Amino acid sequence: MHSSKHSLIYSAIILVLMTISARATNNMVTTTVPLLAKYSLQLSNSLVGLLSALLFTFNFIATTFINPELNSRVRRRVFVISNVIILFSLPLYYLSNAISIWIISIFAGIAFGLVMPNLITAASLANDKKSVERLLSLYSTSLSTSLILGPAIEVYLLTKYDYRDVFLWFIPIAVIGIIISSSIRFPDVKRESSGISVIKNKGLTAAALSITTYNVPFAAFTTFLAILAKDRFNLPNFDAYFVFLPFYIMSFLTRLTMTIRPFENLRMPMLISIIITILGLFGILYAPNYSIFLAVIALLGIPHGSIFPMATIMISRATSIAERNAVNSYFLAYNNLLFLVVPATIGFVSEIVGLSLSISALIIPVATTAVAFFKMFWNDNIMVKR
């Protein structure tokens, strides 16, 4: 028992450090590449949306078609190599031009797609269900920690440097990921499941529908939130990027609460999170000044903090260890599909109706998906643990 407890603590520490390194770097890339493209390389909103879509297209390819088909031993090696590729992409972004930025984004997308699903799987490899759900909440909290740390560093950097320089300052964070990557746990099973049988798993369906209610707007935020703040309120670079901080701080506090007291019953937390999302999207449209805009974005941090860990808990409740890598890969692949489609769509639509209205119109897919989700899973045991 004593040895098992120490093993769990060690796994938790490694998981936290690796997650913070990977997600802080990932978030910096996905939020700063659009800014670099628009304000340093002078690309239009449509091209910015397409560039973001390209990054997530190759992320999607890696999580859907590569990661699920690799056995645990090979996947461990690929995981380490992917962290090295991420490191080298940072100075390449610093040196990029209007052509090379597209090529770099292809390789960065693949690398991130081979790192992130394995972190979720590592978080779900504890020996008992309670520890699994606690580790998954800890993993989600680590994601939010990185999403405070990374933007806080970037806001400070943007008071002194431009968008290109930010990529160089994140190199030490990426180095931490390389050092720790070989210590991440992978499933110790002879054969893992993948393919159609796994895609039909109800945990994957529930997780995909639930995350759609939040990641549709979040995909738009990742690419366009700082651009929206900068253009709408005429802000300097660092003030525009600051908009991510209250958002991620609220997300962190939500996930920390869920780590300390994991939800057994997911019904009301999901319902409340979706209601907040819809209200927040209305708020973006009508916020009269930057202060109220920040308050609305902070409010939207609550469902960002709650829905993702609940989705991963749904997966853990409905899958075996042998299925988990593939289900987590397909789950993140679906997320990447959203991040592929939504920014490109918002980029084109914003040229016609404006960015604020384009983002607020995402209320429609959020509400539609929420109805479908609750109709299918309100009484299911993945929502009400029995």
Adjacent-strand bridge partners of 384: 265
* Residue 20 identity (one-letter amino acid): I
Dig out the tokens for 269 from the structure: 């937390």
Measured CA to CA, the distance from residue 327 to residue 197 in angstroms comes to 10
In the prediction, which pLDDT does 3 show?
54
3-state secondary structure (DSSP) of residue 313: helix
Cα-only R_g, the chain: 20
| Domains of the chain from N-terminus onward | 1-190 (1.20.1250.20), 194-385 (1.20.1250.20)
CA dihedral 77, 83, 87, 89 (to 10 degrees): 90
Measured CA to CA, the distance from residue 61 to residue 256 in angstroms comes to 32
The pTM assigned to this predicted structure is 0.78
Dig out the tokens for 167 from the structure: 């990529």
Measured CA to CA, the distance from residue 320 to residue 327 in angstroms comes to 10
3-state secondary structure (DSSP) of residue 265: strand
Measured CA to CA, the distance from residue 170 to residue 91 in angstroms comes to 10
Tell me the CA distances in angstroms from 127 to 7, 8, 96, 300, one per residue in order: 11, 9, 46, 34
Measured CA to CA, the distance from residue 21 to residue 163 in angstroms comes to 20
- Tokens 């300390």 correspond to 260
Helices and strands per DSSP (H, E), number in the chain: 16, 0
Sign of dihedral through CA atoms 89, 94, 95, 99?
positive
DSSP state of 190: S
Burial of 332 (0-12, 13-18, 19+ CB in 10 A): buried
Assess contact for 197 and 319: CB atoms under 8 A.
no
pLDDT in tens, the chain (386 residues): 455 666 778 878 898 999 999 999 998 999 899 999 999 999 988 898 899 889 988 988 998 889 888 888 898 999 999 999 999 999 999 999 999 999 999 999 999 999 988 888 887 776 677 777 778 888 888 888 888 898 889 989 999 999 999 999 999 999 999 999 988 888 776 666 556 667 788 888 999 999 999 889 988 888 888 888 888 888 888 888 888 889 889 988 998 888 888 888 899 999 999 999 999 998 888 889 999 999 999 999 999 889 988 998 898 888 877 788 788 888 888 987 888 888 889 888 988 998 889 988 999 999 999 999 999 999 888 888 65
